[in-house]
């Protein structure tokens, strides 16, 4: 498919068109045609190419004549002049405004049409001087919320989700490693430490020949703007706004530079203090025997003779420490652990044998139960838990009692086929209602192997205390299947803060009720946060790394969850879904 677009990308273009038309205030029927078309295309189960070739695209419900040509063009050439013109006709600032949380196309159109506001900066002024509040249907409260949203936008747009950054970083890294004369290349910084969000990328290359590396790096296809190009350091901005620094160091300085630029700053400070106490100065240039009167903040000249260090491990060793994996280098207690030889052996992706929180087309998933099972099988897993939404999540097409019973039957039937290759567990993501009761009666839940308990509604306006009680009540509810607590705070990274809860109390309640806590691996959630897992582990609460997958690709997010688990200091033994199928069955029975 030379230059053509995949179905999912075409769906996005159609959705984009609908939004742009809405911002322009176009005819609602036209807008709906694109929205419907996007949905119809998304739901198309047959291969798009086949349908187009057979001339059957026009007979797919929801796809009209005008869309057939556009979808075909995108599929075959990846281009659509209509879309390009449309984008160009809408001021860039209006498109940027759509990023403000809770500010949709209709409102963008109104401030544009009625106040002439064309950019986020102008919108801020219009909020501050009362013009927005004066619009009919807007009011003071909307204007205040909007201002908050604009502030968040500014704060958030400076950072990026780890998962999105990974997609940019890995190909660049590969390109750097492939350059002649490059002995080693790594991404350092917060990305290497597995932080949930990343400010900028920090590439590091070991070579004696800088110039070709700098040239190649600044000319990469993904590079949008070259911000600086020097002899040993360059900075660029990629498409999408992510920035990256590249530093080139001589190969014999690579280990110390990698350690330095991996950070974190707090970790580095502690390492330097420790080095000083042992008669060394540590810097990006190496480990140097300390000289009379030298202070920690003094620059050490690059020429000075350093202790030869081939690897980061050698630096730690020289300072009497066990190797500290990057994920643990946050300046918490890692030096103490390393000194005592107590650095845990962190869990790895390959340790996982399945995952439990997954959706199918029965609720708001995009893949059938069978497609999800096959994708899990392809990942080499032994089991997969199906946990579609319950009825209170009606927007997500949550299952009612009958549909749940039907799905359980489907799961049991799958397992009867001994050639299926993967075992399915019947679960449900059951809503924790406002008062802490569960969305299904205990009798209904009794047919399930496990439940994921999640808060999806009545999140705002509930106090920390009430929310904590609500969740604890759910954990204490007496039901037959074993419980996992889903996405603890409901946060959406870089979009909305989670609701406040007393995490310590909830961990205690999970421990008391034999419930596992989920580490939701969706890159925008990664909730419960890695900072709390040490406490959970201490209390004996198991972690379930769950992708919350809504399609087959979503299963691969599990990798981001494993990274967060590592950051939380968890080992294989702390993770429920590293257990064998037999081990899981024992846990579900309540025997372990
Ligand atoms: P980010 O980019 O905001 O997600 O976070 P980092 O940790 O990647 O920070 P960045 O890119 O500013 O710097 C990369 C690493 O370089 C950082 O983790 C530690 C090291 N570093 C940067 N500035 C300092 C500093 O002033 N003192 C020390 N000790 N280390 C620094
Ligand atoms: Ca960085
Ligand atoms: Ca940086
Ligand atoms: Zn959920």
Q: In angstroms, what is the span from residue 151 Cα to ligand 2's centroid?
A: 22
* Span of 47-56, 300-309, 337-346, 347-356 with lowest mean pLDDT: 300-309
Q: Is the pLDDT of residue 444 over 70?
A: yes
Q: Is residue 388 part of a domain?
A: yes
Alpha carbon nearest to ligand 1 atom 9, residue? 189
Question: DSSP string covering 82-109, please?
Answer: HHHHHHHHS-HHHHHHTTSTT--HHHHH
Query: For residue 58, is the peptide bond before it cis, meaning its omega torsion is within 30 degrees of 0?
Result: no
Contact 183, 251 (CB under 8 A): yes
Q: What is the pTM of this model?
A: 0.79
Pick the atom of ligand 1 nearest to 191's CA: 8
486 and 368 in one domain? yes
Q: Is the pLDDT of residue 185 over 50?
A: yes
Q: Identify the pLDDT of residue 496.
A: 85
Q: Is the pLDDT of residue 1 over 50?
A: no
Which domain range does residue 210 map to? 160-249
Q: Identify the pLDDT of residue 155.
A: 65
Q: Which residue has the higher pLDDT, 329 or 460?
A: 329
Q: Is residue 98 part of a domain?
A: yes
Query: For residue 264, is the peptide bond before it cis, meaning its omega torsion is within 30 degrees of 0?
Result: yes
C-alpha 399/C-alpha 393 separation (Å) is 8
Residue 78: give its domain's CATH number: 1.10.150.110
Q: In angstroms, what is the span from residue 188 Cα to ligand 1's centroid?
A: 9
Alpha carbon nearest to ligand 1 atom 16, residue? 261
Alpha carbon nearest to ligand 1 atom 18, residue? 263
- Beta-carbon contacts of 158 under 8 Å, excluding residues fewer than 6 positions away, are 199
264 Cβ inside 6 Å of ligand 1: yes
91 Cβ inside 6 Å of ligand 1: no
Q: Is residue 283 part of a domain?
A: yes
286 and 165 in one domain? no
404 and 537 in one domain? yes
Q: Is residue 1 part of a domain?
A: no
Residue 187: give its domain's CATH number: 3.30.460.10
Residue 523: give its domain's CATH number: 3.20.20.140
What are the tens digits of pLDDT across the range 313-324?
999 999 999 999
Pairing of strands 543-546, 423-426: unpaired
261 Cβ inside 6 Å of ligand 1: yes
277 and 372 in one domain? no
C-alpha 111/C-alpha 131 separation (Å) is 9
C-alpha 223/C-alpha 205 separation (Å) is 18
Alpha carbon nearest to ligand 1 atom 30, residue? 265
Q: How many domains does the chain have?
A: 4
What are the tens digits of pLDDT across the range 206-252?
999 999 999 999 999 999 889 999 999 999 999 878 999 999 999 99
Strands (E), 134-249: 160-161, 184-187, 197-198, 200-206, 223-229, 233-238, 243-249
268 Cβ inside 6 Å of ligand 1: yes
316 and 361 in one domain? no
Pairing of strands 160-161, 197-198: antiparallel
Of 202, 226, 249, which one is at a domain's C-terminal end?
A: 249
Nearest ligand atom owner, CA of 430: 4
Mean of the per-residue pLDDT values for the chain?
A: 93
265 Cβ inside 6 Å of ligand 1: yes
Of 101, 125, 157, which one is at a domain's C-terminal end?
A: 157
Pick the atom of ligand 1 nearest to 202's CA: 11
550 and 477 in one domain? yes
Give the DSSP letter of residue 217.
H
276 and 213 in one domain? no
Residue 261: give its domain's CATH number: 3.30.210.10
What are the tens digits of pLDDT across the range 103-149?
888 889 899 999 999 988 899 999 999 999 999 999 999 999 899 88
Q: In angstroms, what is the span from residue 525 Cα to ligand 1's centroid?
A: 24
Q: Identify the pLDDT of residue 300.
A: 67
263 Cβ inside 6 Å of ligand 1: yes
For the stretch 60-69, contacts whose Cβ atoms lie closer than 8 Å and that sit 24 or more positions apart, written own/partner, are 62/36, 62/37, 63/36, 63/37, 64/33, 64/37, 66/33, 67/14, 67/33, 67/34, 67/37
Neighbours of ion ligand 3 (CB under 5 A): 200, 202, 245
367 and 329 in one domain? no
Average pLDDT over residues 57-76: 92
Q: Is the pLDDT of residue 371 over 50?
A: yes
Q: In angstroms, what is the span from residue 284 Cα to ligand 2's centroid?
A: 15
C-alpha 205/C-alpha 194 separation (Å) is 20
Of 249, 271, 288, which one is at a domain's C-terminal end?
A: 249
72 and 30 in one domain? yes
Alpha carbon nearest to ligand 1 atom 17, residue? 263
Nearest ligand atom owner, CA of 489: 4
Q: Is the pLDDT of residue 297 over 70?
A: no
199 Cβ inside 6 Å of ligand 1: yes
3-state secondary structure of 553: helix
Q: In angstroms, what is the span from residue 202 Cα to ligand 3's centroid?
A: 5
Convert 146-167 to b/e letters by CB count within 10 Å (16 or more is b). Answer: bbebbebbeebeebbbbbbbbe
358 and 432 in one domain? yes
Average pLDDT over residues 185-210: 97
Q: Within a 10 A sphere around the Cβ of 292, how many other Cβ atoms?
A: 4
Q: Within a 10 A sphere around the Cβ of 526, how many other Cβ atoms?
A: 28
Q: Is residue 2 part of a domain?
A: no
Alpha carbon nearest to ligand 1 atom 28, residue? 265
Nearest ligand atom owner, CA of 246: 3
């Amino acid at each position: 498919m030379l230059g053509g677009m995949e179905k999912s990308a075409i769906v996005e273009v159609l959705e984009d068109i609908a939004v742009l038309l809405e911002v322009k205030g176009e005819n609602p029927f036209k807008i709906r045609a694109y929205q419907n078309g996007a949905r119809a295309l998304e739901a198309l189960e047959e291969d798009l190419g086949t349908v187009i070739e057979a001339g059957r695209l026009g007979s797919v419900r929801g796809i009209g004549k005008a869309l057939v040509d556009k979808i075909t063009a995108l599929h075959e050439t990846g281009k659509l002049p209509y879309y390009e013109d449309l984008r160009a006709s809408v001021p860039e600032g209006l498109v940027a405004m759509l990023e403000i949380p809770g500010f949709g196309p209709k409102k963008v159109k109104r401030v544009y049409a009625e106040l002439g506001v064309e950019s986020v900066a102008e919108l801020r002024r219009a909020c501050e001087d009362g013009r927005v509040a004066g619009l009919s249907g807007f009011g003071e409260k909307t204007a205040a919320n909007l201002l908050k949203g604009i502030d968040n936008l500014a704060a958030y747009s400076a950072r990026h989700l780890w998962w999105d950054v990974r997609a940019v970083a890995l190909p660049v890294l590969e390109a750097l490693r492939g350059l002649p004369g490059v002995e080693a290349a790594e991404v350092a910084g917060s990305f290497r430490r597995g932080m949930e969000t990343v400010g900028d990328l920090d590439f590091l290359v070991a070579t004696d020949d800088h110039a070709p590396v700098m040239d190649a790096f600044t000319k990469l296809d993904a590079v949008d703007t070259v911000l600086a190009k020097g002899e040993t350091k360059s900075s660029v901005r990629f498409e999408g706004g992510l920035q990256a620094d590249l530093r080139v160091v001589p190969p014999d300085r690579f280990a110390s530079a990698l350690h330095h630029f991996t950070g974190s700053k707090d970790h580095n400070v502690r390492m330097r203090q420790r080095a000083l106490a042992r008669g060394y100065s540590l810097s990006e240039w190496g480990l140097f025997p300390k000289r009379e009167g030298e202070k920690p903040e003094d620059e050490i000249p690059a020429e000075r003779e350093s202790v030869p260090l081939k690897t980061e491990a050698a630096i730690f060793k020289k300072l009497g420490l066990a190797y500290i994996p990057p994920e643990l280098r946050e300046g918490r207690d890692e030096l103490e652990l390393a000194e005592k030889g107590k650095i845990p052996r962190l869990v790895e992706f390959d340790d996982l044998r399945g995952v439990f929180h997954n959706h199918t087309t029965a609720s708001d998933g995009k893949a059938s139960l069978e497609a999800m099972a096959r994708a899990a099988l392809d990942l080499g897993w032994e089991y997969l838990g199906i946990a579609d939404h319950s009825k209170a999540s009606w927007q997500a097409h949550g299952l009612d009692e009958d549909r749940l019973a039907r799905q359980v039957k489907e799961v049991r039937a799958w397992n009867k086929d001994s050639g299926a290759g993967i075992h399915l567990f019947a679960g449900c993501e059951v809503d924790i209602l406002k008062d802490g009761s569960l969305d299904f009666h205990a009798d209904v839940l009794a047919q399930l192997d496990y439940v994921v308990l999640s808060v999806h509604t009545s999140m705002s306006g509930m106090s920390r205390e009430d929310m904590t009680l609500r969740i604890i009540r759910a954990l204490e509810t007496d039901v037959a299947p074993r419980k996992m607590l889903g996405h603890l705070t409901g946060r959406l990274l870089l979009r909305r803060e989670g609701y406040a809860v007393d995490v310590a109390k909830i961990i205690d309640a999970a421990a008391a009720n034999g419930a596992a806590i989920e580490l939701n691996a969706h890159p925008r959630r990664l909730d419960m946060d890695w900072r709390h897992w040490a406490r959970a582990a201490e209390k004996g609460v198991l972690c379930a790394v769950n992708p919350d997958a809504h399609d087959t690709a979503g299963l691969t997010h599990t990798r981001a969850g494993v990274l967060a688990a590592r950051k939380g200091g968890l080992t294989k033994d702390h993770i429920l879904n590293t257990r064998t199928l037999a081990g899981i069955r024992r846990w579900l029975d309540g025997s372990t």
